[in-house]
Every structure is written in C-alpha cells, then in structure tokens.
Amino acid sequence: MTLWNGSYPFYPGANACFPFDTTRAVIITVFLSVLVMFITILPGIRGRRRLFWFLRLVLGLFVGAVLLTVQFTRDWETGWVQANTSYKSFSPVQVNADIGLHIGLAGVNVTLRGNPVNQINETINYNEHFPWNFGADYDRSYSEGLQKGLPSPILYVAEKFSTQSPCAVHRQYRIAGHYASLSLWLAFCTWLMSILLFSMSILLYGGHMLLLTATLILFSLLFFVTARNTPKCPIQFGPVSLRTGYGESFWLTLATGLLCLLLGLGIVTLNSVQPEKLKLIFSLDKSSEEEVRDKSCLPAEPSCSAQDVLMVPLGELCQVTATRL
C-alpha cells in the first residue's frame, strides 16, 4: 500500500457534521410554537388567573418537551480526554486531539476533534454514532466503520462496547437503555392523561397521574444507573484514560422527575387539606361564582321588580285594568 499525499488511500476524508441535533430542534420548535400560540390569548385572561394559567402552561409544556427530547439525546453519560494518539492504523503519525464519549439510550457517539482541527494536512473533526437499540446491529455498524477506515481512536473506543469485547458491557447498556426508553414513553402517556384530567377539572386524579409520571421517570433513571455502575474496561490513551460521568440528559430527567413528584404531592395534599386554594390555582373558584350569578338571573327565580309587582293588592290591579278599558 503506497502513500498518497501523506495518507493511505483507503481512508476517506472527515464527514461534515451538522451543527445541531435536528430531532431535538424539531421537538423544541413544536413546543415553543404551542407556547407562543397560547401566550397570544393570555391578555384575554383577567386578574391573577392569568399568572396561574401561565405557570400551568409553562410547567406542562416543559415536562412534555423533556420527556420527548431525552429519548433521542446522546448525552446521558459523557466523558472527554485530551491525548496524543495515533491517528490511523499502520501509521506512526500521532496527533493531539480531544476524544469524547457520549452514551445515550439508543447507542454511543464517539467524537474525535483535533487540537487544532487542521493537522497533518487533514481536518480532524469526527462524530460517529454506533446504535444498539433493538432493531439495530452494533457489530455491523462497527464493521462498517472498519471498512470506511475510521481513525484509530474512534474504533478503539467503539470496540469497547461491541458484543465481542471482553468488557462485556454491551448487553447491560442495551437492555438498560431499552427499559429506560420504555419507562419514559409510558411517562409521556401518563403526562398526557394528567393534562386531560386537569382540563376536565378532575384535579385529584390529575395529581395521581403526575405522581405516576414521576415514578416512571425515576424508574427510567434507575434502569440506566444499573448499567452505569457495571464494571468497565479502562479506555486508555497513553498515560491518560477516558472517564465518563452522568450527562446533561440524566440530570435534566432527574430534575423533571422530582418536579412532577413535588407537583403531584402538592396537588394531592391541597385537595385533602385546602381544596379552595387548589380551586383558586386552577381558576375554578371564579367560574363557580359566575354559575351562581347566572342561576340567580334565571326567569324561574323572580327578581326584585317582579316581587314588587306581585305585592300589589289584587283589587287595585283590577281597578287599574277597568280604568284602562
């Protein structure tokens, strides 16, 4: 195999990376559009009902957006290391690069970014995804990476999570990610049920659904933690090693679960201790007063003027009638 412009010919150039996650962008755009749409009708709500309505709207959309977004994020567990490492197989050339590992529910991402990006007449900026969700073949993706001639650091990290690796972490991460994703989808369904119950003014059962949502979210975290705590093989690059910790998606999911837990407990507690305040938060007190006011003006209940007419003596009423005739 001969060199061509300083590199082996079977290595392709670095693929251009899209600047952001399109799935996350679509979900955020949809929920922000719904928020803006409802904010446009906010001036039509009077008094403090406007504040309570806005808070309920923001919290509800936030929970739904998080439950959908973390399904597709790839930063449940992340780690970075800067090292001098070989760039390609069968080549003594070394580069200084930042190597990142990003583990999600559906697979693993390995990032290789040169420091600086342009070295040895190449642009070193890779971000490769290796899926392990059900229906995907991790080993096949790894084999395709070998055939494409991906840089050695990416293949070295990806090999640690293959089924043939002596680390034996592929099965744990795959099953944990599957059950964590299933729990989050169930939590999204219970969140929709809670929104429906609150819109129907069934507050107690809506609070119970929020508690169920929080339980499912916390269970999803528990499933992922079981895989995270399994012993791992060291990912060594010379004198330094790549270590990982919980990422942004994990902590965001934990905060959302605790938020649903607090909201559910608050609704259930207020419903049993001070139901009037709970009705005030959900703007049910004023509607009941309007219903009473509407009932007081119905024709079945005579008004003050009607009662005055009935108090007129019958003789005088007949006399007035005879005079008119």
Distance (Å, whole) CA 284 – CA 270: 14
pTM: 0.78
The residues pairing with 7 across neighbouring beta strands, listed in sequence order, are 4
Per-residue pLDDT in tens (0 to 9) along the chain, 325 residues: 334 444 444 444 444 444 446 777 888 888 888 888 888 877 777 767 778 888 888 999 999 999 999 999 989 999 999 999 988 877 788 899 999 999 999 999 999 999 888 888 888 899 999 998 877 889 999 999 988 889 999 999 999 999 888 888 888 899 999 999 999 999 999 999 999 999 888 899 999 999 999 999 999 999 999 877 776 788 888 889 999 999 999 999 999 999 999 999 999 999 999 888 888 888 776 544 444 344 444 444 444 444 444 444 445 444 444 444 4
Distance (Å, whole) CA 237 – CA 222: 31
pLDDT of residue 278: 85
Domain boundaries, the chain: 22-74+171-232+250-280, 77-169
Distance (Å, whole) CA 171 – CA 52: 46
Please give the full DSSP string across 53-112, using - where no structure is assigned: HHHHHHHHHHHHHHHHHTTT-S-SEEEEEEEEEE-STT---EEEEEEEEEE-SSEEEEEE
Peptide bond into 92 cis (omega under 30): no
Please give the full DSSP string across 156-223, using - where no structure is assigned: HHHHTTSTTSTT--HHHHHHHHHHHHHHHHHHHHHHHHHHHHHHTT-HHHHHHHHHHHHHHHHHHHHH
Cβ neighbours for 130, distance < 8 A, ≥ 6 positions apart: 107, 108, 109, 110, 138, 141, 142, 145, 158, 161
